[in-house]
């Protein structure tokens, strides 16, 4: 049995995801059956189908582009906060040195 330390997260291309979602839409099988056939976790395939529907405007939610922008902005915000904190500490340090 694999433990979390030695499990690797599998990465899938956008083409693979699109093909899997297309199978769900056109195939006569359930999402669970398709997931088993593709050796995927059913919840992952359901998430891909849902995200495809959001991107197509068929369902409410954040599109893939909006999710990417949100992640980029959160990262940028984190970096800016770190830089601000460093500058605050440097200001305090130099203020003490000049006294």
Q: For 37-52, how does the pLDDT look when each residue is reduced to its tens digit (9 = 90+)?
A: 999 999 999 999 999 9
Count of domains in the chain? Answer: 2
Q: Is residue 38 part of a domain?
A: yes
Asked if 35 and 77 sit in the same domain, the reply is no
**Helices and strands counted in the chain (H then E):** 4, 0
The CATH code of the domain that includes 46 is 1.10.10
Q: What is the pTM of this model?
A: 0.69
Q: Which domain holds residue 40?
A: 10-61
Tens-digit pLDDT profile for residues 8-28: 888 999 999 999 999 999 978
Instruction: Determine the Cα–Cα distance for residues 55 and 59; give it in Å rounded to an integer.
Output: 8
Residues 56 and 22 in one domain: yes
Domain annotation covers residue 1? no
The vertex-17 CA angle with 15 and 18, nearest 5°, equals 65
Are 73 and 92 within one domain? yes
Which of 97, 15, 72 has its CA nearest to residue 89? 97
User: Do 99 and 67 have their domain in common?
Assistant: yes
């Amino acid at each position: 049995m694999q433990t979390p330390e030695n499990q690797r997260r599998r990465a899938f291309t956008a083409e693979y995801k699109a093909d899997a979602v297309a199978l769900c839409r056109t195939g006569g099988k359930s999402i669970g059956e398709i997931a088993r056939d593709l050796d995927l976790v059913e919840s992952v395939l359901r998430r891909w189908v849902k995200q495809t529907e959001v991107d197509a405007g068929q369902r409410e939610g954040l599109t893939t582009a909006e999710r990417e922008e949100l992640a980029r902005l959160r990262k940028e915000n984190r970096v800016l906060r770190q830089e601000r904190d460093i500058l605050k500490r440097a200001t305090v340090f130099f203020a003490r040195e000049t006294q």
